[in-house]
Structure 1
Amino acid sequence: MLFNKFVLLTRKIKTTNFKSLWADVKESITGSERDFTTTSLGKAIFLLSVPMILEMAMESVFAVVDIFFVSRLGADAIATVGITESTMTIVYAIGIGLSTATTALVARRVGEKKAGKAGNAAFQAIVVGVAFSIILAIPGFIYAKEFLRLMGASNEMTSEGYFYPMIMFGSNVVIMLLFIINAVFRSSGDAAISMRVLWMANIINLILDPVLIFGIGPFPEMGIKGAAVATTIGRGLAVCYQFYLLFKGNGRIHLDINNLSIRFNIIVKLLKLSIGGIFQYLIATSSWIILVRLVAELGADVLAGYTIAIRIIIFALLPSWGLSNAAATLVGQNLGAKRPNRAEKSVWITGIANIIMMSVIGIFILLMPGKLIQLFIEAPAVVESGITTLQWLGAGLLFYAFGMVVVQGFNGSGDTLTPTKINLVCFWAIEIPLAYLLAMNLEMGITGICMSIIISESLLTVIGVIVFRQGKWKLRKV
């Protein structure tokens, strides 16, 4: 009798827990109206991180989809995309840097319960983003061929593939706005909106990629140029949707006639915050460009394999960025609400969750690196390079996971300078010289480059945790 009651009670608890979990998942995806500075921390992290992880998961699909279809065009096409993407990271760096500043400002104003000022900060971020994108678009569009030659591309790659960087740089405004406006939604607590926007962009790209690359149906066969056009159309339509949502007024952030005025004092504050964020990512991405240049010296096949493997690693890491963005939002909002200890606790809890998630993904990658590379290409030399890269970088996912959360914790507080200094040491003073030493001087090739990445990223995590524990970021005024 007692046993039967116990069984019934257990079933009831399981049913209740499942219903509660499903209700939380549904709330996180459809959008939550909760105040994340007072909601229980575990639930706040869950409600913010689920749509952010799904958002980044779709972005990771986008990263793999492009290279999947482009790989059908051969190693030269893959290498062209790899070279372009390595330098496009400058655009991403500025976009992410501005997004970091936007997150700090908007989250702090939301935590202070000043929705109007949060909206005005969002508009200033959009204005600054458009200005930067114009500055980058003009030389990128005009000097696309010269850029490919500078990065070590062959004459054949340059003559056939220059349209790809021309289009990507020329239309970088859609990348910039997509980053910045989604940061506005996320930092205000509307993470579900950011998720829907990115899903829209990537689903459109998923449909258009094969159609424009291979000329399916009435569409012309555009080759590698079609990949750039598909990406631009997908992101461009998503940006239009973002503006519709901002002016529609149903979210936490609303733009109206009162917000559409340029406030130079806010722009100055935004730029000051952005400088640290931009240089933080420029340091990281410039080291990435130099690494690609070193890999290019090892041959097109090695570069192609490295490019495919990096896309897979990006696929694995982007959901981790989702959790990291949740930490940044919670840090900013809780500091605005004068709850610094809760802000710090949110970073530790999110970091542990990220380690667990990335450990599972890392094991999966290490179990089948060859099969993953062969999804894209069968050429033995390319596959060999890709496997080596995956094995080394997959083993480092555990370290990247916690480091990403700690860095976003600094950024969410408005302390963008500390991660910049750490990046300067780990990437420029250690990663680049070490990569050259191991790959070129000691002739370890792609293995040496991968080893330098693991060592520098691990050191970044260790230094970041030590400095974060000191707590000076809690005193940052935004």
Structure 2
Amino acid sequence: MDMTIDAPIDAAPPRAPVASPIASLLTAPILPMLLRLAIPNMIAMVGSTLVAIAETSYIGRLGTIPLAAIALVFPFAMLTQMMSAGAMGGGVSSAISRALGAGDRDRAATLALHAAIIGLCGGLFFTVTMLVFGRSFFTLLGGRERVLEEACGYSQVLFSGAVAIWLVNTLASVIRGTGDMRLPSMTLIGASVLQIALGGTLGLGLFGVKQFGMPGVAAGQLIAFTCAAVFFLWYLLSGRSRLPLDFRAFYFERAMFLDILKVGAVACLSPLQTVLTILIFTRILATFGTEMLAGYGIGSRLEFLLIPITFAFGIASVPMVGMAIGAGQVKRARRVAWTAAAASALTVGLIGLVIALDPALWASLFTADPGVTAAAHSYFHWAGPAFAFFGMGVSLYFSSQGAARVGGPVLASTARLLIVAIGGGVLMMAQAPAWTLFALVGGAMVVFGLSTAVSVAFARWGK
């Protein structure tokens, strides 16, 4: 990571003019534009959250064994989404927005076609990996007998359509790179509604349809994302987007892949580390008993619901930062990054602070068990005040993608992983009380947020 302060590049010679509404991302007041871009993303992410709730409800009706099975598959499904939408997707939006900011629309269009190839390859990688090694993964996580079979049945259907998931998130990132957040968000909301309807119908056997169980629930997502991928391809090829594509003018260029992968490939380490952090901490906490694990589950559920806020501000900053960098407006790019980080930290931090002061506002929605409630309260008391740092770090991670300087935030995520893994192991061997683990999680969030902020403050942005 380069720790030198950037030179004042804003005095660079004027670039070629870019067409409106793309130009507005370089000239409009930062906070109003950021909110305008963030709100559609927030709505779309809320739709994804509702899908998770609906699918959990469907699977719960199928029985306890399917519920245990989905817990085995969930980390890998989450990893697929995080890598394709947030990590590699951020690399795609970054490369396209930087090209548009520099006034090079032809390069942006060529980058978009290369991005589609990367999405196709990413999806195929997950399909082959999970179809070949999925059973082994689930066995390592403790899957046995019927639980293992149900997990494999769900996984085989879901990951057979991983190409559709990757294409949807990649093509949505292409469109976001032009500053258009509304169309990807509306499309993803439509896909969420379709997934809820089809997953319930096929999984539970509604309206006279044969009940397919877990594979049926997975088929709902496969069909919904396939439809969304087809729509995005049509939209981009029809000339209706801000960046129309032309396959006839396409040519392979190694530099185009590198422009995307130098951000996206490195950024993929962050969601991988996030999933590892969750798995390691869950495994450590399981030794403290079912009540502690259930209490943490209630707390982590709130974290999951807060991710749409951090994602919305962060992903909205990517095209604004990227276009500013491409246009040589480094000072504006930094102002965008810090504004998005402040908005995310303030919003998420206020929620965390309120819940830390009165955990019953959230915990009472899920349980009345005294032991589980006490564990959830302990988690919120220690981790809740740190949510602001988590929101700031995630937002700056996305902004760094827009600037093509993502190494520092990824190292900050590594620090968080090491703190939880090493610190948690030490506390477990020392037989420390469970509250110390919750304090460790909060401390790891603080380190992640502050480390990311320091890396952004000192990293050199611009060419």
TM-score, normalised with respect to structure 2 = 0.85
1:386: how far off? 6.2
Q: 1:371 and 2:371 equivalent?
A: no
TM-score, normalised with respect to structure 1 = 0.83
Aligned residues with identical type, % of pairs: 18
Contact 1:435 1:451 in 2 (8 A): no
1:46: how far off? 2.3
* Paired letter, 2:45: M
Task: Label 1:135 to 1:461 Cα distance change in 2 as closer, same or farther (>3 A).
Answer: same
Task: Label 1:169 to 1:363 Cα distance change in 2 as closer, same or farther (>3 A).
Answer: same
1:320: how far off? 2.1
Task: Label 1:162 to 1:107 Cα distance change in 2 as closer, same or farther (>3 A).
Answer: same
Q: Partners in 1 of 2:21 and 2:329 — Cα distance? A: 21
Task: Label 1:72 to 1:382 Cα distance change in 2 as closer, same or farther (>3 A).
Answer: farther
Task: Tell me the equivalent position of 1:27.
Answer: none
Contact 1:178 1:238 in 2 (8 A): yes
Task: Tell me the equivalent position of 2:236.
Answer: 246
Contact 2:55 2:200 in 1 (8 A): no
Q: Partners in 2 of 1:391 and 1:177 — Cα distance? A: 40
| Alignment of structure 1 residues 5-154 onto 2, 5 Å | 35-95=24-84, 96-154=86-144
1:347: how far off? 1.8
| Alignment of structure 1 residues 55-454 onto 2, 5 Å | 55-95=44-84, 96-295=86-285, 306=296, 309-362=299-352, 366-374=359-367, 393-428=383-418, 430-439=419-428, 441-442=430-431, 444=433, 447=435, 449-454=437-442
1:418: how far off? 1.6
Task: Tell me the equivalent position of 1:473.
Answer: 460
Task: Tell me the equivalent position of 1:455.
Answer: 443
1:474: how far off? 1.4
* Paired letter, 2:211: E
Q: Partners in 2 of 1:388 and 1:232 — Cα distance? A: 39
RMSD: 2.8
SS where residue 162 of structure 1 aligns?
helix
1:343: how far off? 1.0
* Paired letter, 1:265: A
1:127-182 per-position Cα deviation (integer Å, ceiling 9, x unaligned): 01211221221231133332211111233311333212222333222221222111
1:284-333 per-position Cα deviation (integer Å, ceiling 9, x unaligned): 32333333444566677866665565344212221221011112221111
Task: Label 1:206 to 1:263 Cα distance change in 2 as closer, same or farther (>3 A).
Answer: same
Task: Tell me the equivalent position of 1:11.
Answer: none
Structure 1 window deviating more from structure 2 (343-352 vs 360-369): it is 360-369
Q: Partners in 2 of 1:243 and 1:199 — Cα distance? A: 17
Task: Label 1:268 to 1:425 Cα distance change in 2 as closer, same or farther (>3 A).
Answer: same
1:243: how far off? 0.9
Structure 1 window deviating more from structure 2 (298-307 vs 61-70): it is 298-307
Contact 2:73 2:151 in 1 (8 A): no
Q: Partners in 1 of 2:436 and 2:64 — Cα distance? A: 22
1:250: how far off? 1.6
1:108: how far off? 0.2
Q: Partners in 1 of 2:224 and 2:287 — Cα distance? A: 34
Task: Tell me the equivalent position of 2:12.
Answer: none
* Paired letter, 2:29: S
Q: Partners in 1 of 2:222 and 2:44 — Cα distance? A: 18
1:439: how far off? 4.4
Q: Which residues of structure 1 form unaligned runs of 5+? A: 1-30
Task: Label 1:304 to 1:363 Cα distance change in 2 as closer, same or farther (>3 A).
Answer: same
Q: Partners in 1 of 2:25 and 2:303 — Cα distance? A: 31
Task: Label 1:134 to 1:58 Cα distance change in 2 as closer, same or farther (>3 A).
Answer: same
Structure 1 window deviating more from structure 2 (228-237 vs 32-41): it is 32-41
SS where residue 372 of structure 1 aligns?
coil
Task: Label 1:84 to 1:291 Cα distance change in 2 as closer, same or farther (>3 A).
Answer: farther
Task: Label 1:87 to 1:306 Cα distance change in 2 as closer, same or farther (>3 A).
Answer: farther
Structure 1 window deviating more from structure 2 (301-310 vs 67-76): it is 301-310
Contact 1:97 1:274 in 2 (8 A): yes
Structure 1 window deviating more from structure 2 (56-65 vs 176-185): it is 56-65
Q: Which residues of structure 2 form unaligned runs of 5+? A: 1-19
Q: Partners in 2 of 1:305 and 1:204 — Cα distance? A: 32
Task: Label 1:410 to 1:192 Cα distance change in 2 as closer, same or farther (>3 A).
Answer: same
Q: Partners in 2 of 1:66 and 1:448 — Cα distance? A: 33
SS where residue 251 of structure 2 aligns?
coil
Task: Label 1:343 to 1:139 Cα distance change in 2 as closer, same or farther (>3 A).
Answer: closer
Q: Partners in 1 of 2:397 and 2:151 — Cα distance? A: 36
* Paired letter, 1:287: T
